[in-house]
Structure 1
């Protein structure tokens, strides 16, 4: 740890943290500041961007969300037929979906949040696959549904196609004028929002200094979560995130949770060369944590060049995956214990959201879960030796199969309870862990150029599919494999197509 703390000093991590909170343009390839911390800052905090304190702007949007969500939840804001809007479909993809879904899933079974939600429903439509549309609209009625379209530019291909599809679903039932009552936007492009048919008064903005995967504390996440759980619960979530932000900003590095986790993750992934990390929450309500951190981590630090554009001669980032315990134990723990070395983050909760104790059982259901939490980290650390197995009477033939090497790294994180506040702490902790890792690796953790090429080529394929569907002819403009597969795909006509409008 002393060596790693010295490395943090050599890499000027403290200065880079200062630059982040000062609003300097540390995202150099896009010439942007990285100020998601401002999204959860208290009103009296001063965080500047290009000489201006942005905190008042943030709280202006938060107040607008509070007023609007209170109106919808109270029934003051009604749909086109006069009925309250009790169901929300949030349309977005990537950072506009994974973070809010993680928080929603964590709060869904938290008693105070569940009570605030009542019989309301919140669904997230992300995939352009029409199956996802069908699943998310199943059982909903247009007259009681509010749709939140999340797209900063209002041009994201998948999001806007889904938005047009759901708009047609509303119009076919309620008429075109209903769009203004049943659809709102989280966007900065008011021109396109208005052209879409959404009243621009009902557009909730955010800023260029908010990266997509870091946007859950902006209107991207706060609006749908406030509609479902009430603004007070979401405020506690923001307060928890800010608590961890201040730890990251102010605590000495040997007591700084995000910095220590960032150093440990860098040690495991880059110095020891372990290519994966398992995120293992022993809490079903955190089932969407690993998918969110996959994006935050892998899109941030999966880079091949330094921030100066030089090739990197060492491994960067790691493959993040995970599953709640004890499900994961019956899935991939075999590899973790006796196959490849996979550093693990174990996350446990002292107090269950829904404690159950069956009379006559040795321990409660939650105790049973947590016994596994403690045992797994211990087993990875200590393993089991040949000598121990022989002492237990295991046959020579089975000894190699039952030997555990031990000395396999893990970090254990124990929360007092899973509440809106601690969910915010957990989110912020991982966001800053990723930043520290990037600071040490010398990469830009806040751009994502690697996702662009596939998007550009998808446009070319889309034009080809449209042309082939309307004019016919063989596809020849791609590599051999793609040409073959596209021609095979286009041989079949789409059948049983559902049409809205």
Structure 2
């Protein structure tokens, strides 16, 4: 089969030519606003309760048209439909990619290999609901009769980042009386810090591991089990430990009753799994009605993604803007600036979603993609970031696009705080776009009474180049439904960018090599014999550990 490198395709060449013409014309974002009074209206849209303003990107109507042509050339809509239909688009593992089925309403037909997965999904949801209601009502109690007050989720990667982010983001909706804790880090300090806060008699542990063999998770799980058995007997484990796993024999051997295992499927990728039983800590934290609302919000974005034409399709537009900034403008990273304290874990969540999905360079043909793929994702909550790394965003030699995220209505009653917060959010995107010219800086310093000598010295340091792109994403409030839609928006954006680049966004082979090597090194650390199979650096580091233990 013949293969054409991406940069040699007709649509990509047209985009390159267009970008060169814009550069030659010196066309900046601020000029585009000056020329087009309705630019905000033309380059914004709403979907599933989420509003996207993408007018502060270095794009014109022609740019958008060419990006849409590129999307059609890359058959983005066809690949999207293949994903929703259950085709095994994760071709390196021969798996379907159907996290969208986890939030589909009941009686929505969806079959894989002849099995009605919609029925299976809703069976597990019913199991989760019944369990949550038992815990919240006090029917489910610990071995000594105390109600459950603390839930400790032990998992890593997608079994940790998503549930932890959602519980944190929706703390205003949390069920009173349940405190949520998350342990993912293999470092014993993490587990020790949690165990020191909880009472074994009123604590429920959720062990989240599809295979029940993940090394990090299982070491933490067995250590938590040993801690619990210092206070109770093995017969009491079934009242304090439940599992989210597909490995029933291993779960039962651990001491968890079969009825307290919540299953999920190989067509659910880890970083897309918070909608499944992996979301059990979310349901316990918020109550099942709010968990259901989270699913409904995501489903609303799914419907929009499936039905809206490319030109008005929010996930596809967001993906295309990312392609434009990454490949045509050379921006190597994307900063996430959430102007909401409860979204402080959202940048970390997006790091895994995006970088584990699209941090790849080999396409479906086994060839190296000849353009840049997934960007580096980083960020923090808004005003904290302003006093940390925004200097870099405004004046460094690197141009970093920013996604600003905010909620119009807060979950508190401190009105002045909210107005100042939103003012900062909007001001930062405006400042990145407009910058500050030499003339503006000169006039400002003259007004302050500075001498010509002072102005000449300080002028270059106070100029802001501007012309730095950003998106602004607004929710009416940070509710379960709106958060569900926001997460789904980014899930689909990441998938679409994978479609563009021709890579498999749904495997993660790069995670495996370090795990394999770690097992060998762990064996050497335990054995006490001289390691000879390693490079001199690794062998030397192993020797340091042995010396420290003497």
Shorter-normalised TM range:
over 0.9
2:298 alignment partner, SS class: helix
Displacement of 1:192 in angstroms is 0.6
Q: Give the conservation status (yes or no) of the 8 Å contact 1:187–1:203.
A: yes
Q: Give the conservation status (yes or no) of the 8 Å contact 1:170–1:178.
A: no
Displacement of 1:65 in angstroms is 0.3
How far apart, in 2, do the equivalents of 1:307 and 1:259 lie?
20
Structure 1: stretches of 5+ with no match in the other structure: 358-363, 495-501
How far apart, in 2, do the equivalents of 1:198 and 1:39 lie?
25
Equivalent of 2:318 in 258, 261, 264: 261
Moved more, 233-242 or 47-56: 47-56
Corresponding residue for 2:502? 442
How far apart, in 2, do the equivalents of 1:300 and 1:354 lie?
36
Corresponding residue for 1:361? none
Corresponding residue for 1:499? none
Within 5 A, what are the aligned runs for 1:12-411? 12-108=75-171, 110=172, 113-114=173-174, 117-221=175-279, 223-339=280-396, 340-357=398-415, 364-393=416-445, 395-411=455-471
How far apart, in 1, do the equivalents of 2:232 and 2:410 lie?
44
1:396 alignment partner, SS class: helix
TM-score where L is the length of structure 1: 0.94
How far apart, in 1, do the equivalents of 2:417 and 2:251 lie?
49
Displacement of 1:48 in angstroms is 2.6
Displacement of 1:308 in angstroms is 2.2
1:148 alignment partner, SS class: strand
When the two chains are superposed, the root-mean-square deviation of aligned CA atoms in Å is 1.0
How far apart, in 2, do the equivalents of 1:490 and 1:67 lie?
50
Q: Give the conservation status (yes or no) of the 8 Å contact 1:276–1:342.
A: yes
Q: 1:177-207 CA deviation, whole Å, 9 max, x = no partner?
A: 1111110000000011111111111100010
Structure 2: stretches of 5+ with no match in the other structure: 1-63, 447-454
How far apart, in 2, do the equivalents of 1:146 and 1:224 lie?
10
Displacement of 1:475 in angstroms is 2.5
Q: Give the conservation status (yes or no) of the 8 Å contact 1:21–1:47.
A: no
Establish whether residue 426 from structure 1 lines up as the match of residue 495 from structure 2.
no
How far apart, in 1, do the equivalents of 2:465 and 2:285 lie?
47
How far apart, in 2, do the equivalents of 1:274 and 1:476 lie?
43
Establish whether residue 455 from structure 1 lines up as the match of residue 512 from structure 2.
no
2:445 alignment partner, SS class: coil
Establish whether residue 480 from structure 1 lines up as the match of residue 532 from structure 2.
no
Displacement of 1:47 in angstroms is 2.4
Displacement of 1:474 in angstroms is 2.7
Moved more, 172-181 or 32-41: 172-181
How far apart, in 2, do the equivalents of 1:51 and 1:181 lie?
36
